[in-house]
């Protein structure tokens, strides 16, 4: 049975109508694979912003959360590698949904293939600014202090910052060739068969020294995803006619 990989859906990024249409597409995709999937792996940035308070989570995503729980209720493992937009997760996903959270890149065996998973943030050669701020954003003290901001204000502040950042980064060349692909090549030399990333929103499948590097693209413009079946990984594009 195949394993499916998605990343960079960025739920909550745009207007309510745009987000409903994007979520409708995502839910149709999840329904279409639930009966055949061996595993679902989310390689970061499912949300444009996710921050858990002690008893509060962001509203507006209940349909997607319920769809993920349907996978785990049917004994289909779901792995969620935290991206740079949704790594402020607590225990909601594992406790309430049965979804396994990974805060760091990891290697796993899927169908006899060694698959290395990394969201891709901070790897591009010209992404020095993010590499400098990443330790601050993931600092436990900084996260604890942010939780003292009222959720209504905290979520609105973070969403505004995310949109501003997206407008800036969407036009910048981060040198993927020198950074992310070089990183993938190193993991393949170390023994990985397949390296899967997201983050750059540009789908690509590249064979490297007997291994394969896949960037999943995104669900904002490409609706792209990957399938690992019978030892081979392929990039695909979803549209509603496939349901």
Contact criterion met (CB below 8 Å) for 159 and 49: yes
Lowest mean pLDDT among 133-142, 161-170, 207-216: 161-170
| Distance of alpha carbon 58 from alpha carbon 210, whole angstroms | 43
Domain layout of the chain by residue ranges: 3-242
Q: Report the CATH superfamily, name and number, of domain 3-242.
A: Metallo-dependent phosphatases (3.60.21.10)
**Which residues on adjacent β-strands are paired with residue 227?**
4, 234
pLDDT of 128 above 70: no
Q: What is the enclosing helix (H) or strand (E) of 182?
A: helix 180-189
Q: Which residues contact 111 (CB under 8 A, 6 or more apart)?
A: 3, 38, 228, 229, 230, 231
- pLDDT score recorded for residue 184: 95
Strand partners of residue 226: 5, 235
Q: How far apart are CA 145 and CA 156, in angstroms?
A: 16
Write phi, then psi, for 109 (nearest 5 degrees).
-95, 120
Mapped to the 3 state alphabet, what secondary structure does 186-212 carry? HHHHCCCCEEEECCCCCCEEEEECCEE
Over pLDDT 70: what percentage of the chain?
88
Higher pLDDT, 59 or 184: 184
Query: Helix 62-73 crosses helix 16-33 at what angle (to 10 degrees)?
Result: 10
Is the CB of residue 241 less than 8 Å from the CB of residue 211? Answer: no
pLDDT tens per residue, range 69-104? 999 999 999 999 998 888 788 899 999 999 999 999
How many angstroms separate the CA atoms of 178 and 59, rounded? 39
Q: Is the pLDDT of residue 51 over 90?
A: no
**Does the pLDDT value for residue 241 go beyond 80?**
no
Sign for the pseudo-dihedral over CA of 92, 32, 29, 105: positive
What is residue 239's predicted lDDT score, i.e. its pLDDT? 83
Residues 132 and 12: their CA atoms lie apart, in Å, by 26
216 neighbors 9 (Cβ within 8 angstroms): no
- Band (129; pLDDT cuts 50, 70, 90): low
Pairing of strands 194-197, 113-117: parallel
Using left for φ > 0, alpha for ψ between -120 and 50, and beta otherwise, residue 111 falls in left
């Amino acid at each position: 049975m195949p394993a499916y990989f998605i990343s960079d859906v960025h739920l909550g990024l745009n207007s309510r109508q745009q987000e409903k249409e994007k979520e409708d597409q995502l839910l149709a995709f999840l329904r279409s694979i639930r009966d055949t999937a061996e595993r679902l792996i989310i390689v970061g940035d499912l949300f444009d912003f996710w921050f858990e308070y002690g008893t509060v989570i962001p509203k507006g995503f209940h349909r997607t959360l319920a769809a993920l729980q349907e996978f785990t209720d049917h004994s289909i493992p779901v792995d969620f590698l935290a991206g740079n937009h949704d790594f402020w997760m607590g225990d909601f996903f594992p406790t309430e949904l049965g979804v396994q959270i990974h805060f760091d890149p990891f290697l796993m065996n899927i169908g006899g293939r060694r698959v290395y998973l990394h969201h891709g943030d901070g790897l591009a050669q010209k992404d020095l600014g993010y590499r400098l701020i990443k330790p601050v954003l993931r600092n436990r003290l900084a996260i604890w202090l942010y939780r003292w901001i009222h959720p209504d204000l905290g979520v609105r502040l973070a969403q505004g910052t995310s949109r501003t950042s997206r407008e800036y980064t969407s036009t910048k060349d981060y040198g993927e060739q020198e950074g992310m692909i070089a990183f993938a090549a190193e993991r393949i030399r170390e023994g990985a068969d397949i390296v899967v990333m997201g983050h750059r929103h540009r789908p690509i499948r590249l064979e490297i020294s007997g291994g394969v590097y896949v960037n999943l693209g995104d669900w904002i413009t490409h609706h792209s995803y990957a399938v690992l079946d019978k030892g081979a990984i392929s990039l695909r594009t979803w549209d509603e006619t496939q349901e």
